[in-house]
Structure 1
């Protein structure tokens, strides 16, 4: 018996859910940290260029594949061709993308567990549980395992509810809350002494930095990670999108919301670094490099919150609540994609599939926690810096090289009847077919 196809109830539901997937820790932690470590404004400029030249075109491609085939990524990529070899390659690409996604969720759950711990710590301090607050903010295997497990259970709770009652409903609630908290926090930080120095660093690019290979590949990896590309998430959400929706415009809204959050996060965190410095917290080492770059939000910012006295407890709680909301909106999409694949490929019900995938990811996370020094950074680099752009490239090439062009046009005409006359159709297919592979290959080679 065929399983019923899930679908978003409205365009707004899709945009908020897809933007929620894109908006995550990568925007509010990863992007500002990368910017602070790579010249501030120079990184911002290159990041925006990467979003425009590479990430947005590939986002359109992944959403198009999803809606065109109306199935999970494995089947969608497998059915791009009738040739046996290409069908096998398509299925392999789908499985690989889902494996990369599981690796990302495994480290993402660990980081999100830290956010949950740091959010609860001020509350523990307020009610007098200082020992518990200290345990929540001190790095330990036990804390990491417990916090990661709690975060995974929160993610399971949402995904078990399905597309409408789970993902769409919670995206509608959490995304507006995220924007309110982010803007409120940015306004507060910008009003503090020392913030202007961080603002100048963020908005004034050093053009001598923008051609550095490390900066360029970091910006590309950040752009692809930020928009959840190359890991089958947007393909899965595309399968839930109504035929009445214009894919290029809808993808444009998702990209705009995602990029806006990243930009606002930079307005919050880079000035916050210099507010911390103004309050006596060291943010740069003697050689000029950023101290604790990989753990900026867990070292420099908590030190700044502590320097604010009693008010710092409330500011700290609000900041880490903001981070946790961003984390959950992304993690539910990361869990949904493999769950739906199990549901369709093995005819496994959603409830069981959710627990199967969550258990596998939790076990991987546990292995990373126990072998943190050797695995954590390696998994992040492999999955986000290299595999995401490569898999996004594979998906885009399959859409434009393997699928017949009249079928691609027909897919895009749903929701945009006259798209064949538009500038988008005249540029996008050949751009994804020829230019994107060259640009992604050059950036990876330079790195």
Structure 2
């Protein structure tokens, strides 16, 4: 590996954290928890991280660090056809995720704009982001045919920045992560501590512990969501972690870095939940007559911000920074809001860069096109398809993408990798030996048990749940949203994997030729025997 492409140890940690956290922890986790079971859902999330997240991160880090190849070639020693099929499915998936993720990162830019708008930051009517941005043009810009100009311009800026960063090297985003990732941790920690001093915050947190939340744990949606979230917040199945490990120092301690990454994710998750749900309680506090009735707080939070996990956080945060303005100095809340969204923007941007780099690397590796032409083509494609997500209410399509592309598909990729590498190729011991040479945390019988039996069974069950949930969602979503999500989330990655893996068809042709040759040989042998007789 070229040393210029090497990533430092600190760079590896902050880049992995930036890619893993991105918007997943800040945006995704509170929305999922609000919808799927409160604190009890979070406990399941921790269980999913222990059962699936940690073992698979160790797997991806060690495999990437050992092989140091593109995702389409990562398994070429075992089977070129399988390696390319899984790799191209995964790479195409990264385009799909980059499309809607770029829109979400654009939301953080819009949120920075809200902090500069007195009329919006002072609106305490609830659902600020929905009312002023998603259901109108935003900042006084009227919609035309439901087209959201502000969201589109923010989305366009994100894609342009991704293209520029990839064209001129990812060292810049690594340096930004070294500054803004610690800043994001510090800001959220301070905000979480501060919000607990505001009346109503503790009641807002108490809504997470209501017994009614336990009922939601009995649904397939909760279980598929919790494992999908574990994959999404750790970037498992995306190829990014293998990619980062592939440019990190060779023979690094991958197991300790896995635990460090997961601890960082869980720490940020807890502090963010305190901040977001404490804030939601503080915001509705003045409208609650009986401050001891937690059910009233829960209902008022739902009335004010809705239960849509997609935009829950973006609706809560603007009013939160307004409350900080009221309780401190005028403008201080806006200043914190700008810093917060800027740090979140950098984290989200680093994830988008990592996602897009996977597909750029795959095309470069197989077809040897010039890198900047590939980047231009990919970014143009993201912009064209992303237009579907910047019309009024089409943000609902992001939920369907999240269910398929960032849920079911990621789990399918990891399931296929484990079945092939561990069960078919029987190469797990190679990774264990590689890990144990350097890591002070040794892998042994327990890890083998998890990778051979527990993880495949768990993932198989969750895949079934996810398919069932998507089928059910088609009965409530508009038909065109379900069809578009199915096409982009499943059919396009499969078609791309087949089209870019000609070895599969060559293998079939070889089999056909062998069968025909065998038949010809049998006929010739039969004629020869007849002549002898």
Common fold by TM > 0.5: yes
Equivalent in the alignment of 1:443 = 462
Query: CA, structure 1 residues 347+215, in 2 after alignment: closer, same or farther (shift >3 Å)?
Result: same
Q: Among 67, 70, 83, which residue is 2:68 paired with?
A: 70
What does 1:49-88 align with in structure 2 at a 5 Å threshold? 49-77=47-75, 79-81=76-78, 86-88=79-81
Instruction: Indicate whether 1:193 and 2:214 are aligned.
Output: no
- Once the two structures are TM-superposed, the CA of residue 117 in structure 1 deviates from its matched residue by 0.9
- Larger Rg, first or second structure (1 or 2): 2
- Once the two structures are TM-superposed, the CA of residue 219 in structure 1 deviates from its matched residue by 0.9
Equivalent in the alignment of 2:222 = 215
Equivalent in the alignment of 2:360 = 339
More off after superposition, 350-359 vs 190-199: 350-359
- Contact map agreement 1:8 1:168 (CA 8 A) in 2: no
Distance 1:352 1:283 in 2: 53
Q: Among 112, 121, 129, which residue is 1:119 paired with?
A: 112
Distance 2:353 2:302 in 1: 38
Q: Secondary structure at the match of 2:248?
A: coil
Instruction: Indicate whether 1:157 and 2:147 are aligned.
Output: no
- Once the two structures are TM-superposed, the CA of residue 237 in structure 1 deviates from its matched residue by 1.2
Instruction: Indicate whether 1:104 and 2:125 are aligned.
Output: no
Distance 2:236 2:140 in 1: 36
Structure 2 unmatched ranges of 5 or more: 124-131, 289-295, 467-533
Equivalent in the alignment of 2:382 = 361
Equivalent in the alignment of 1:239 = 246
Distance 1:224 1:8 in 2: 26
- Contact map agreement 2:26 2:272 (CA 8 A) in 1: yes
Q: 1:196-223: per-residue Cα shift (whole Å, max 9, x none)?
A: 1123344688655544432221111111
Equivalent in the alignment of 1:14 = 12
Q: 1:19-47: per-residue Cα shift (whole Å, max 9, x none)?
A: 11001111001101111222321011000
- Once the two structures are TM-superposed, the CA of residue 76 in structure 1 deviates from its matched residue by 0.9
Query: CA, structure 1 residues 218+301, in 2 after alignment: closer, same or farther (shift >3 Å)?
Result: same
Structure 1 unmatched ranges of 5 or more: none
Distance 2:240 2:165 in 1: 16
Instruction: Indicate whether 1:433 and 2:433 are aligned.
Output: no
Normalising by structure 1, we get a TM-score of 0.86
The alignment's C-alpha RMSD in Å is 3.2
Q: 1:236-295: per-residue Cα shift (whole Å, max 9, x none)?
A: 112112223112111221222122222221111111111111144998558978714231
Equivalent in the alignment of 2:182 = 176
Equivalent in the alignment of 1:299 = 315
Distance 1:162 1:68 in 2: 23
Query: CA, structure 1 residues 6+431, in 2 after alignment: closer, same or farther (shift >3 Å)?
Result: farther
Q: Secondary structure at the match of 2:69?
A: coil
Q: Among 27, 30, 47, which residue is 2:28 paired with?
A: 30
Q: Secondary structure at the match of 2:74?
A: helix
Distance 1:169 1:386 in 2: 33
Query: CA, structure 1 residues 133+237, in 2 after alignment: closer, same or farther (shift >3 Å)?
Result: same
- Contact map agreement 2:41 2:217 (CA 8 A) in 1: yes
- Once the two structures are TM-superposed, the CA of residue 349 in structure 1 deviates from its matched residue by 4.5
Distance 2:80 2:365 in 1: 17
Distance 1:148 1:18 in 2: 23
- Contact map agreement 2:71 2:87 (CA 8 A) in 1: yes
Query: CA, structure 1 residues 414+160, in 2 after alignment: closer, same or farther (shift >3 Å)?
Result: farther
- Contact map agreement 1:62 1:395 (CA 8 A) in 2: no
Number of equivalenced pairs: 433
Distance 2:226 2:113 in 1: 32
Query: CA, structure 1 residues 137+124, in 2 after alignment: closer, same or farther (shift >3 Å)?
Result: farther
Q: Secondary structure at the match of 2:139?
A: helix
